Amino acid sequence: MRRAFLAAAILGAACSGGPDRPFTVGVLEPVPARVAAEARRLGLAVLARAPAGAAVESAAASGQAGAAHGKQRISLESPVRRSFRSAAHGEQRISLESPVRRSFRSAAPMADFGRLRFLAARAIVSGSAGVFFRLPGTPAGTDILDYPEEWQAVVRVAREALAARPILEKSVPAPAPFVVPDGIAVRAWTLAGRRYALLVNISGAPEPLDEGVLAPWRALFAVRSDARELLAPCGRRRCLPAEGVLWLEGRLLENQHG
């Protein structure tokens, strides 16, 4: 509900006009017709080639544990019965049924939501004109829609990028609102009396952030609106985790213009 409200608020702010820099979100062909139709229904572009200036990212987790060792990726489908001995009664066996996912057998399993979000945010923070994902293959007779968890990761990232389009297309670029470590890439904008910033940890390791500079800001596309609560402990400090993404919204101060 809160995500929908944020998206509506950003879209409403876009009515103020401003520079128009198209930002396209989509998937690259080839994809099955069913996947293409669903992607277009969500507002994604389905193209054979990404537009000039758009980033192309693989949605496969090629380095993920399990893929490198030929292990199966588990995905929700059918119940499997498991049994174990009771600790109190060595001879008693208890059977439990739990849903276990059908195996996502692929040379390169699907990246998870956090990784896909990082790839999209990295494209945005680098100034790309869009982001397109190459989807990994699936077993014969199936497509990515047969694996709800994997497809929902793509959907969540796509919806976030689409909700941010008014900021990327209609805003005025602004300087970074505060100093960040070298391992954190940052872009900032102003739009309709608000200021926005995107922080992306590209260093591969946790990067410390001053909680004080985040106090005036509200986190977007997150369960918690207090941006400071999205940082993780790292020693005596608080850090943006490796591949962490932080969208921020704040009020435009009187001495700021744009």
Domain 172-251 carries which CATH code?
Answer: 2.60.40.1180
Burial string for 133-161 (b: 16+ CB within 10 Å, else e) reads: bbbbebeeeebbebbeebbebbbebbbbb
Instruction: Name the burial class of residue 96, with classes exposed (0-12), middle (13-18) and buried (19+) by CB atoms within 10 angstroms of its CB.
Output: exposed
Q: Mean pLDDT per 10-residue run, the chain (258 residues)?
A: 47 50 94 97 97 96 45 38 43 42 57 96 97 94 94 96 95 95 97 96 96 95 93 94 97 60
Tell me what pLDDT residue 21 has: 79
Q: Which helix (H) or strand (E) holds 130?
A: strand 130-134
Tell me what pLDDT residue 84 has: 40
Where are the chain's structural domains?
A: 19-61+110-170, 172-251
Tell me what pLDDT residue 105 has: 52
Tell me what pLDDT residue 61 has: 82
**Sign of the alpha-carbon torsion through 220, 166, 12, 216:** positive
Q: Please, how many CA atoms are within 13 Å of residue 113, restricted to the half-sphere of its CB?
A: 12
Tell me what pLDDT residue 62 has: 62
Tell me what pLDDT residue 73 has: 40
